[in-house]
Chain A
Amino acid sequence: MATASAITAEREHYLNAEYGFRSWLLTTDHKRIALLYLITITFFFFVGGFFALLIRLELLTPQGDLVQADTYNKLFSMHGQVMIFFFLLPAVPAVLGNFLVPMMIGAKDLAFPRINLLSWYLFIIGGGLMLYTMLTGGVDTGWTFYVPLSTAYLGTHVVLAAVSIFIAGFSSILTGLNFIVTIHRMRAPGMTWGRMPLFLWSNYATSIIQVLGTPVLAITLSLVGLERMFHLGVFNPQLGGDPLLFQHLFWFYSHPAVYIMILPGMGVVSEIIPCFSRKRVFGYEFVALASIGIAVLGFLVWAHHMFVAGISVYSAMVFSFFSYLVAVPSAIKVFNWTATMYKGKIYYSTPMLYAMGFIGLFTMGGMTGLFLASLGVDVHVTDTYFIVAHFHYIMVGGMVMAYLAGMHFWWPKISGRMYPEAWGKLAALTIFIGFNLTFFPQFILGWTGMPRRYHAYTPEFQVLNVLSTAGSTVLAVGYLLPMVYFLWSLRYGKEAGDNPWGAAGLEWKTASPPPTYNFEETPVVTWEAYNYDELPKEVPVVG
C-alpha cells in the first residue's frame, strides 16, 4: 500500500512546486507568504508569552521581589507590544486571511502579490527592530506610549520601539489594502457579495479598519519620535502641549485595533459553526452587515479609554453612548451563531470546541466591556485588573481560541495532513481550563481594588494571584501541545483529502495542499454560501 508521503509527492502543489530558500523568500504565492507569517507570528507569540510568564512569576508574591519596578514596567510593556503588534494583529489576517482569501473568492492570488511579500518583509524588519529594542534594554512606557512620560521623562528605547511599530503598521496597512482590492475586483464569476463566506466579510471589515486607522497611529508615533529627537514638541506641556491630544490620536487607532484583532476571529467562527452544525448560518445578511457595523461603530468609541484622563464629561457621555452601541453588532453575531447551532447536527471536533469556547468567553469579555462603557463603573475599575481580565477574555479567550480554531480547521487544507484529533481535543480542554483559571480571578482582583501595572500588591490579593499564576502554567502547556502535534502531523499525520470536514466553501473544492494557482480552472459559482442542506449530513472525518 502506498505511503501517505508517496501519494502527496506524486502531485504538484504549492509546497513542492519549487524548493530552496529563494523560492520561499522571494515567493509571491499568497499561500507561501501565509506560511512565512505563520512561522514569524508563532515565534513572537512565544516571545510575548515568555514576558507573560515572568509577569505571573513576579505576581506570585505580594512583594516586588523577582524584578525591580522599572524592569517590571518593561516586562508588561514588551508583553503588550509584542502580543498586540506582532501576534494578535497579524495572526488571522496575515496567516489564514492570506492563505484563504484568494481561494474563497475563486482567484489565483491576491491583487498585489509583490506587495503581499513586501508586507511580510516590513513585518520582519519591524519585528527585528522590536527584538533589538528588547535586547538592548527594552521600553517601559506601557504599550500605550503616553506623553509626556514617553516624550520627556524616559531614557529607554522609546524611538526604536515606536519605529518598529510604525514599520509593522505599514505591513498591516498593505495587507488591508490588498484584501480590499482583491475582494472588490477579483471575485470569480457568480461570486456575488451575497454569496461570499462570512470569513471574507469579516476580513473585509478588518481591512477597512487597518487602512483607515493605522495611519493615525503612524503619525502619532512619528510625532513622539520628532519630539524626542528634534524637540518639535507637539505634546510638550511647556509649549501648551496637551497630553490628551496624544491620547485622542493614539486611541483613535488603538481602539479600532481591537476590532482588527477580533473580527477575523469572528470570521473563523462563522465558518466553523455552520460546518459542525451541518446547517446554514442563521441570518447571513445580519452577520455580514454586523461586521461592517463593528468596523464603523468601532471608530466612534475611542475616548472610553480616557474617561478618567480629564476629557470633558459631555464628550465622555457621547463616547459612552457609542460604546454601548458597538456591542449590538457583536451580540447579533453571538445570537446568530447560537441560532445556527440550534437543531443542528453538532460534531464536537477540535475546531468546534474552540469555536464554542470562543462564543462563551468572548461573550463574557464583551459583556464586561459594557460595564466599562458605563462612566460610573469605569471610574471605579479603570487601571485595575478588571480591565486586564476584560481584554484578555476577548483577546485570549476569544481571539487566540479563534485562531487555534482556524488553524485546526484549515490545517488539512494547508498541509494535506490531519492533526491527531484526540490530542487536539486534549489541548483545547487544557487551554480552556488554564485560561479561565488564569483570568477569572483577575476580574475579582480588579473589582476589589488591585491596580494594574504594579509589581507589588497588598497581601489580601495573594490567593487569587497564585491561582492566576497556576492557571497560566496550565495555559502554557496547552499552547505547547499544538506546536508539537502540528509538526508531528507533517510527517506522520493521516492524509487529509480535499474536504475532510465535508465543508462548504471554494477552498474545499480544490486539492489539499492546493496547487500553486489554487484551481485547475476558474470556478463559476452558482450556489449560496453554506449550502449545507445540499451537502452530506455526515462529516467524513468524524470529529
Chain B
Amino acid sequence: MSDSSEALATHELRHHFENMEQQRGASSMGMWVFLVTEIMFFGGMFMAYLAYRYEYFVAWQEGSQHMNFWIGTVNTAVLICSSLTMVLAVLAIQQGRRRLTSVMLAVTICFALAFMVLKGMEYHEHWLAHEFPGSAFHFAGIDPRHVEMFFVLYFVMTGFHALHVLIGIGLVSTMLYMNERGHFSADYHNPIENTGLYWHFVDLIWIYLYPLLYLIGHHHVS
C-alpha cells in the first residue's frame, strides 16, 4: 500500500518544486495567505458593524433581540461539529484510511447542509416578519430606521458567510469525489488539508458572528 501511495505522491510532484516537502510547504502557506485575504474581506463588514454599533447601540440591542436565538445557537453547534468531522477526515487520510476519510467528509457536508437549511428557515422567518431591509421592511419597536440598518448588516454578514459555506460544501464535495477516485493517500493529501483550513475558517467567522449578532441584550424574543 505504501509503495503505491509513494508512487502516487511522486507522480504528484510539480516540476518547478525541488521535492514534495517544498511543494507541501508552499501549498499550505499559500492557503494561509489566502485565508488572511478572507480575514480582511470579512474585516470590512466587521468594521461597518462596529461603527454602527457604536453610533446606534440601542437599535443594535433591539435588533439582536429579534434574532432567532435558538437557530443561531444550534447553528453554532452544527458548525463546530462539522469542524470536528472535517479535522477527523484529515486525520483519517493522514493514516491512509480512505474509506473513513470519505465518511467523515460526507458527514461534514451533511452538517453544512443542515446549517444552510436552518439559515434558510431563519431568513424566511425574518422575511415573513417584515424584517428584510427595503420597501417591505416594517419594524414596530423603537428606532426602526437604525434597526433596519442592523438587519442590513445581519443579512450582509450572514449572507456572505452563507456564500462561503456554500463554496465550502462545493470544495468538500470535490475532495470526497477525488478521494473516492483514489486520488489521495497518506503521502499525498494537501488539497484535503487545505480544504480543512478553509472550512475551519468559515467556522471561525461564525464563532464571531454569533455573539455579535445574537447575543446583544439580555432577553430573546425567540
Contact = CB atoms under 8 A, between A and B. Distances in A.
Nearest to A102: B16
Contact of A212 (B18, B36, B134, B155): B36
Nearest to B154: A232
Contacts of A480: none
B26 A186 contact: yes
Nearest to A222: B160
A219 interface: yes
A262 interface: no
Interface stretch (B41-49, B83-91, B178-186): B41-49
A184 B29 contact: yes
B29 to A, nearest CB: 5
B40 A186 contact: no
A324 interface: no
A212 B34 CA distance: 10
Interface of A: 107-113, 115, 173, 177-178, 180-182, 184-186, 211-216, 218-220, 222-223, 226, 230-234, 236, 238-242, 245, 248-249, 252, 517, 522
B45 A219 contact: yes
Given A215-B37, A245-B51, A185 B44 contact: no
Contacts of B34: 177
Contacts of A177: 30, 33-34, 37
B98 interface: no
Interface in B132-162: 133-135, 145-146, 148-149, 152-153, 155-156, 160
A137 B60 CA distance: 40
A212 B145 CA distance: 33
A372 B52 CA distance: 30
Contacts of A111: 16, 26, 30
Interface centre among A184, A185, A212, A249 (most CB of B within 10 A): A185
A252 B44 CA distance: 10
Given A108-B15, A238-B145, 5 more contacts: A111-B26, A232-B155, A239-B152, A242-B51, A248-B47
A220 B133 CA distance: 19
B16 A109 contact: yes
B16 A185 contact: no
B55 A211 contact: no
B47 to A, nearest CB: 6
A172 to B, nearest CB: 11
B152 to A, nearest CB: 5
Interface centre among A110, A115, A215, A233 (most CB of B within 10 A): A215
A348 B160 CA distance: 55
Given A185-B25, A186-B22, A223 B51 contact: no
A444 B196 CA distance: 58
A242 B53 CA distance: 12
B67 to A, nearest CB: 17
Contacts of B6: none
Interface string B82-123: 000000000000000000000000000000000000000000
A232 B152 contact: yes
Contacts of B44: 215-216, 219-220, 223, 249, 252
A211 B145 contact: no
B40 A212 contact: yes
A248 B47 CA distance: 10
A226 B43 CA distance: 17
B43 A216 contact: yes
B40 A215 contact: yes
Contacts of A522: 18
Contact of A232 (B25, B47, B146, B156): B156
Contacts of B51: 242, 245, 248
10 contacts: A110-B16, A111-B26, A111-B30, A177-B30, A180-B29, A211-B36, A215-B40, A219-B41, A230-B134, A233-B149
Nearest to B143: A240
A185 B48 contact: no
Given A181-B30, A186-B26, A214 B155 contact: no
Top 9 A-B residue pairs of the complex, sorted by shortest distance between their CB atoms: A219-B44, A109-B16, A215-B40, A215-B41, A231-B134, A108-B16, A239-B149, A111-B26, A215-B37
A302 to B, nearest CB: 12
A240 B38 contact: no
Contact of A240 (B26, B146, B160): B146
B56 interface: yes
Interface in B48-72: 48, 51-52, 55-56, 59
A152 to B, nearest CB: 13
A147 B168 CA distance: 33
A152 B117 CA distance: 34
A112 B30 contact: yes
B34 to A, nearest CB: 6
Contacts of B56: 240
Contact of B55 (A113, A182, A242): A242
